[in-house]
Chains A and B, each alone.
Chain A
Amino acid sequence: MEHAVEHSSALIPILVFLVVYAGITFELVNKAAAVLTGVGVLVVLKVTTEHHAVGYIDFETLMLLTGMMIIVSLIKESGFFTIVSVKIAEITKGSPVKILILFSIVTAVMSAFLDNVTTVLIIIPIIIELTRGMGLDPKNYVLSQALISNIGGAATLIGDPPNVIIGSKVGLTFNQFIVNMTPAVIPAFFLALAYIWFINRVEFKPINTNLTKLVSVQLLLQKIRFEFANIRIDKTLMIKSLSCLILAIMLFITQTMTGLAPGVVALGMSMVLLLISNANVEHVLEEVEWSTLLFFTGLFILVGVLEEYGVIEWIAHNVFLNIGDDPYVIVLTVLWVSGIISGFLDNIPFTITMIPIIHLMLESNPIPNDILWWALALGACFGGNITMIGASANIVSVGIAKKYGVEISFIDFMKKGLIVTFISLIVASIYLIIFLKVSL
């Protein structure tokens, strides 16, 4: 067999990987615990050594995530997000359409420059408070923000974990992501928004013809102002943390000139912020999602071992390289397979698994302008919208909604998520076909 796996002992890492994957997908165990247990099993069974395992970790990704988590936690502590949320609520004046559009724009932009989970953690409580207080059903608004956060997050290198991984492991820059992803993200955002509005158009009727509703909204805004604005606002910390975020983004943009990798920039700026803000470091470090970082660490090792044993190469040759050499077919296959699989499995392990496969595919069929990477990124990010387990932001949104007494079932989510994903993937397909046509 030409591309056989290295030897029969590859069965152990494959088995471990599948068990871990199942545990993560069906949420049987904590994600970080699952992958690190998997790594532990591989080391104990001498499939790999601990020294070898460390070599598979992509520290660039971990640095970028850690740095951004620290910066975001300090911005959050300054009260900036509270001010933004209350201001938007005031601007909407309770108009259902304005709530949908303005919050969606803010969610999309925040998701592009912060992580999606932080975005929904900030936006969902206030949108529930606002819509419920007006007697509207918050469910559609919660769903829309979760879906939009995944679309918006696709726009930048730092917006969504699959992009962070692709950017770090492949060496694609912040600017390359913006330039190559936004042409698909912007129309996907507007079409998704139009679809959400269309199917719920009766609920989005204007309220400015009803004085009672207008009075209720004004009183509700007063209540929201009090509840949310009662949080301590630290102007000095706000200025410092926002300055560091802006500076980090500037350094991402000028990466080709400075030669500084995004991971170095993010971690560096977060350390500068910790020093200049006199923040309680212990408290800030508690805000860092260590379980997510450990999850990434373990996954890098698991996939690295599979790569070492030739499993990835075998999948690439027997699954993806069997689809022929038509670049259009290859690109669209990567996009749709990534989209569909990311909807049902966690898109983070999927992306980490796909990176070496795409490398092998590119060796056989060089496709210009990194189009195959953009197909993977768009598929993984947009596909996360199919089900509530497709992306972390979905799980968190549904969780917060439940805490506020808003029940969203798996089917409720999928009914809207499936169509939104389909629309987004169609947009991405058209974009990639045009891009490929121009590039070839």
Chain B
Amino acid sequence: MSSKDQLILDTLFRDIVKFYSSSQTSLVTLDAIIESINDLECDDEMFAPQLKEVCSIITNSQPRMFPIDNLIILFEKELENNDYFKDKDLTTKKSGTIEIIKNLIKRLEHDMSELAKQGLEHIEDGDFIVLHAVEEPVELLIPEAKKMGKEFEVLILRQESVKTEQVVNVMEQNQIKYTVIPEWDLIHFFDKVNKLFIGAYAITTDGKFVSDSGTSNIVSECHVHQLPIYLFAPVLEITPTFSRDQNIYLKEESETAGGVDFTLISHSSDIVSLDLVDHIITDQGEVNPENLAEHCTV
């Protein structure tokens, strides 16, 4: 495996997840693998090593990204069950592999749809919901609730421009009433808002969840102000691994302010304790954080 290839894919994941939820990023990645298999030209015996390399790069991404990480583990298991289509010609190997990926896509789409259904029960008329990034609630829940005729409003906490623009786009497309404020201005809205909806990149079995940068601050502030916090994630985002194994990416950039050069350090994602979350909603309904391992799919 080339470290350059790993770096390229890591960068792409970090960029794409700015405008898609981790579930949608996983779907996009699976589609990309199908397209790539179709375009691949290699010797029969090189097909399996190439697939293994792609799987290894995805499961070692910085940060680790779920559900794709778990889906790739399931994909590899399925390939092993089929002995990587050994002794078959390349065309059969390709079609067999694509079939497995298509099934995983169907499974994820089903889970996302179920998550939306489960989530709808937690949106009521008159709600004023806090959102901050393009996560599962923004992509799946909020538009679905609007389509069902529920009347509510959202408060968007401004993040990196690309993230906030995308959240605003979703609200505009679905004609949902929204207000945008800087993240640090939330303190002035606690008498108006009544829920915080967030998503995750991963839920770890040590009682943490990995999420978009900025989540930790918002969750902590909302917890202090006793605002109910809802975490929406398909069970495919639950991993048996620990939070310390999530490959959080640390970025160092040179910046200049007022003629002074300095190094800006930032992380790709936050690690937040599930103790601060009031409700964990999955495609299988609300789950108890103490029973997370039972819901782990791999």
Contacts and interface: CB of A to CB of B under 8 A. Distances in A.
A216 B39 contact: no
A417 to B, nearest CB: 29
Contact of B28 (A209, A211, A213, A222): A222
A310 interface: no
Contacts of B81: none
For chain B, give the interface size range: 20 to 34
B41 A208 contact: yes
A211 B53 contact: yes
B32 A211 contact: no
Contacts of A217: 36
A216 B41 contact: no
A219 B40 contact: no
A134 B41 CA distance: 18
Contacts of B54: 211-212, 215
Contact of B51 (A211, A216, A230): A211
B44 interface: no
Contact of B42 (A209, A215, A219): A209
Interface in B1-20: 1-2, 4-5, 7-9, 11-13, 15-16, 19
Contacts of B4: 135
A410 interface: no
Contacts of A230: 165, 169
Contact of B40 (A135, A211, A223, A226): A211
Contacts of B1: 212
B53 A216 contact: no
B227 interface: no
A219 B5 contact: no
Nearest to A95: B39
B60 to A, nearest CB: 12
Interface string A211-233: 11111111110110010001000
A133 B31 contact: no
Contacts of B51: 211
Given A219-B9, A222-B16, A214 B39 contact: yes
A133 B12 contact: yes
Contacts of A211: 36-37, 40, 42, 50-51, 53-54
Interface residues of A, number: 21
Contacts of A317: none
Contacts of A134: 8
Interface in A130-147: 133-135
A359 interface: no
B35 interface: yes
Nearest to A220: B12
B94 to A, nearest CB: 11
A9 B1 CA distance: 75
A218 B36 contact: yes
A226 B9 contact: no
Nearest to A211: B50
A427 B39 CA distance: 38
Contacts of B19: 226
A199 to B, nearest CB: 23
A169 interface: no
A264 to B, nearest CB: 43
Given A222-B28, A223-B16, A214 B9 contact: no
Contact of B5 (A208, A212, A220, A222): A212
B16 A216 contact: no
Contacts of A93: 39
B29 interface: yes
B23 to A, nearest CB: 15
A208 B16 contact: no
Given A219-B32, A222-B16, A135 B37 contact: no
Contacts of A210: 50
Contacts of A215: 9, 29, 32-33, 36, 54
A226 B165 CA distance: 12
Contacts of B15: 223
A213 B37 CA distance: 11
B6 to A, nearest CB: 9
A223 B51 CA distance: 23
Given A218-B32, A223-B15, A208 B40 contact: yes
Given A220-B12, A222-B16, A223-B15, A213 B5 contact: yes
A385 B35 CA distance: 39
Interface in A289-308: none
B5 A209 contact: no
Contacts of A218: 31-33, 35-36
B104 interface: no
A205 B210 CA distance: 39
B5 A216 contact: yes
Given A133-B8, A212-B5, A212-B57, A219 B28 contact: yes
A210 B57 CA distance: 13
Nearest to B4: A135
Interface string A226-269: 10001000000000000000000000000000000000000000
B276 to A, nearest CB: 31
Nearest to B34: A218
Given A218-B32, A222-B28, A135 B41 contact: no
A208 B36 CA distance: 8
Nearest to A214: B36
Interface in A180-225: 208-220, 222-223
Contacts of A222: 16, 28, 32
Interface string B144-166: 00000000000000000000010
Given A209-B42, A213-B5, A219 B29 contact: yes
A222 B57 CA distance: 18
Given A134-B8, A223-B15, A209 B41 contact: yes
Interface of B: 1-2, 4-5, 7-9, 11-13, 15-16, 19, 28-29, 31-33, 35-37, 39-42, 50-51, 53-54, 57, 165, 169
Given A214-B36, A216-B12, A223-B15, 10 more contacts: A211-B51, A212-B5, A212-B50, A212-B53, A214-B35, A214-B39, A215-B9, A216-B8, A218-B36, A222-B16
The 7 tightest CB contacts between A and B, nearest first, are: A218-B32, A214-B36, A211-B50, A219-B12, A215-B36, A212-B5, A135-B8
22 contacts: A134-B8, A208-B39, A208-B41, A209-B40, A209-B41, A211-B37, A212-B2, A212-B9, A212-B53, A212-B54, A214-B40, A215-B29, A215-B32, A215-B54, A216-B5, A217-B36, A218-B31, A219-B28, A219-B32, A223-B12, A223-B16, A226-B16
